[in-house]
Structure 1
Amino acid sequence: MSLSAFGQIEHDVNKNGGNTESNSINDIDSIRFIGNSMEIILNNGTVESHTISHINNVTFSGQSIGSVDYMNCEAATINGLIVEGTGVLNGVFIEVDYTGGNGGLHNGQIVNSTGVTGLTAELVAGNFSIGAGTLTFIITGTPNSSGVATFPINIGGETCDLTVYVNPSEVQSLNCFGATIYGTLLEGAVANGVYIEVDYTGGNGGFHNGQIVNSTGNTGLTAELMAGNFAIGAGTLTYTITGTANSSGTAIFALNVGGQTCNLEVAVVYPWALGAVFCSDTTEIVNVTNPITGKVWMDRNLGAVRAAFHGSDYGSYGDLYQWGRGPDGHQCRNSATTYTLSASDQPGHGLFILSNSLPCDWRTPQNGTLWQGTNGINNPCPIGYRLPTKTEFDAELSSWISNDASGAYNSPLKWSLNGGRYPTDGSINAVGNGGNAWSSTLNGSYSYTIGFLSNNAFVNSPLRANGAAVRCIKD
């Protein structure tokens, strides 16, 4: 006879003397009675013989071995959402129905996914129902892709493949048209602190790998989205812009993320005043920060072809402006001269205006508002930049390791010995011996500069018709 029908796991022969001989039911093939004997035939062929008169009783004990007749993986119910690349959140589980349960114990099961890997289904140990019932598998882990994850289930004497669809990480819409741009992109300037926020809807909480996309139309720029997770529902993606735009106009970034695409259009602005005259090439706009003052400056003088390699680097000298004038060409070191003073804020020519009498200004009467702030009438700096104030020059000077030309060059701004231009005859002077640059701050009929020599550095106030460098500071 088959003992598994008893649903127990241990068979005990209890003798009159108190002794008990036990066997696992799984080890027993059959039991037979011959005369006054009960013989237990084990699966390995061994026969145990017991005299019936010596037996007090025979018992079957222990927890029943669980089994089912049918496991329905095909109709399993999935509760919760599983998304590629995203750790499964608490509360994702799968219910699998069965029939023909015998009420017995099962040890549960832990099974790893195949196909889409990275997931685990766990069934906690318990008892089958008698008849029909449901098993609940808890899903954990992070799926490595979208598609079908398969769990080979083997429990209660039945096997089946439990399949689960892993959703791709996605959004329902991507709003490039309504993007918010922070900062300004300038032609010829290294993008600094510029980023763009793009809203989306219908996020499913999935992981995305980010995106790096180069601009078209106006080339030279790159938009980068760092890898991360979509929100569930609406959210915002932040693209950081780097690089240097090669012209003004519109830069286009082809975004492709979360199963959606759109073209992000960003304006690149011409940074200089209309009609600005350049003595050689346009000054490249590269920022440098003084970590002591926290101020952001251009890394070179206006008109310079590079930041200084050393204190006497001619390519770093740049142009020589008369205080308050725009970039009309007078700032070129070889510009012609005239003794005719200007009665207007824009003289209408590019001549260096000479003056031999006080207040020794190129304009009559004087106008002290020409270089005040980013909106100064003749501000020669690119958009978003201006002339520094005397206070900012004082702070700059205080940050140097020494108050001289060496301290000037060894500062983050790499000042060089650019020289100057006399207001009386237009001659260039002190090149390689001294350097100076204008501030926007007035001192009566004079204006302040920062100056430095081999043995000294200072903030003083020369005549406005002098020619000196301009180093712009970010507003």
Structure 2
Amino acid sequence: MKKTNLIVFMLLGAFSFGQVGINNSSPKVTFDITAKNSDGSTPEGFLPPRLTGNALFAAIASGAYGPAQNGTIVFVTESSDVSNQVGQTVRVDLPGFYFFDAISNEWRKMGNDSDFYSSDGTFSSTRHFGMSNYNLGFTGGRVGMGTFNPDPSAILNLVSTDDGFLTPRMLEAEMNAIANPAQGLLVFCTDCFNNLGCLMINDSNNPAVPDWESLCSSNISTGHVLSLVCASATNSGTLQSGVAASGVTTTVPYTGGNGGIYPSASFNSTGVTGLSAKLAGDILLDGNGTLTFNITGTPSSAGTASFNIIVAGKSCTFTIEVDPFTASVLTLECNSGIFSPGIITQGQTYTGTLTIPYTGGNGEPYAQLSFVQNGLTFTLPAGTLATGSGNFVYDVTGSAVASGAMTIPITFGSTSCNVSATIATAMTVEMCMGPGVTKDWSLYNLGADTTFDPHVPVQQIHGNYYQWGRNTVVANASTDPAAIVGWNTAIAPDGSWNTGTEDLPVKNTTNDPCPTGFRMPTRAEWVALSNNSSVSRMGSFLVGVTNFGSALIYSCGTNKLTLPATGYRSSANGALANRGAQGLYWSSTERSINASQAMNLRFENTIVNPDVYNNRVNGYSVRCITE
């Protein structure tokens, strides 16, 4: 009876007011349900149709849900099977309330259980997704981990201050077994390079032929080879008992190089002792290559010298035969020794020969001999003695360190003598002035004592001081530092040292103090020297009347130009200033906008400026350049 009255009431409400109320007589909306009991004594609520996800999937075939059903609500009691999570039921993966969204033609989950496909959210715990051999792809978007704002240039942006990015880790055999690895593929090889491990990248653009390269130790890995092949080693040069090894090398092949570095090493001989096999550090080739060992020392006897080498994680043993030394001469005629060319100049590269006659040769062979004296290397190539008289012809190369008398010891077997020679003092040095351009500069300041080493700053190489445009010496390194009586304050006119231009200088022979064949350098030449040389300094660069030990050094390869920090004599009265802390060297170039000034080089402890100017009456140092 109650149910009948309720239905009648609902109908009357619907017809009378267009609204339906359940358990209330004045519905506030189209359909208004009020709980019958609010004390929990009876079940209250609204039960929509209850269906399984598979039932909703089955309805797709009949087209049961379309635009007319937009907003329909159901309760899903069981999720759709994975295979049925397609089309309208693609999101029906959990029990719950769903509504039909006709615009997207999908059932959508209601409430906080909405999925991460359509809204942000937080997983309540770890999630594992079974992909069933499908790949997860992100197309046209960026993925950020540890950031809400992935960098616009990155498809994957990882951000952390306490965690790193860990690439797949595997054994070398597993890495090599990867089928057709893509170019740029990264893995961490845990046992590569004698179990040190390394991050590896495939450099090859041909997946069928991978090329795994290392990304460790500053992008150059520790050297590693598959094998050292001492059985195929080749020897060059000859060893003789009691004779210092010279020009003797052994080349050992290797296989399976990884392109990594190997350090310098030295291995002592066994059997015949006294020898060492020295290997200079270098980089292995990718694949097969060779290692060259330089044999040094003096073999203790004739026989077989063995070398057990360990390089790039592998070892092997090679051998060299040592012959008995049987060659002999009666005399060495050092007094008749001849250099060709005959002049050797200190600091200049020399390439020539030294011929030493001998008598009483026994016709036996001898190994190469070599020694170094005063920076020069003397090498007697391997050969065979004449029977009777003959000549030893030494190849001589290098650069003599010191000038003056030089004694050269010549020894062959038990016979020896000394050659006397004189090394000429160098007066010029070739310096870099631009790409492919060099110029000879004087090694000494004008007025310096040229018997002293030009690269050791002492009082004797400071030289003289000159006022611009004049060839008169106004002071030297021994002049009293006080003001000079009668100091000339007149300004020398333009063209006093150069009657040409900066680009095409012409020496004014009347006033230029430089000797014949030399002239004052232009401003442009000081600039070119500075721009094309490396710069270093020596000494304290502190002001001191007796501080002669500071200098600036221009270097061009092995050649160098040393400029003492001579200070200057003041334009006001000729008093000495800044010796030991500053160097000032004149150029022949005037300052075009001021007839009382000229250009010069100035250097101190922290600056070098080849393009400054000052009063022409100052007394500065002079360094000449060849014409």
Range class of TM-score, shorter chain? 0.3 to 0.5
| Structure with the largest fraction of strand | 1
Please, what TM-score do these two structures have when normalized by structure 2?
0.31
* TM-score, with length taken from structure 1: 0.38
- Larger helix proportion of the pair: 2
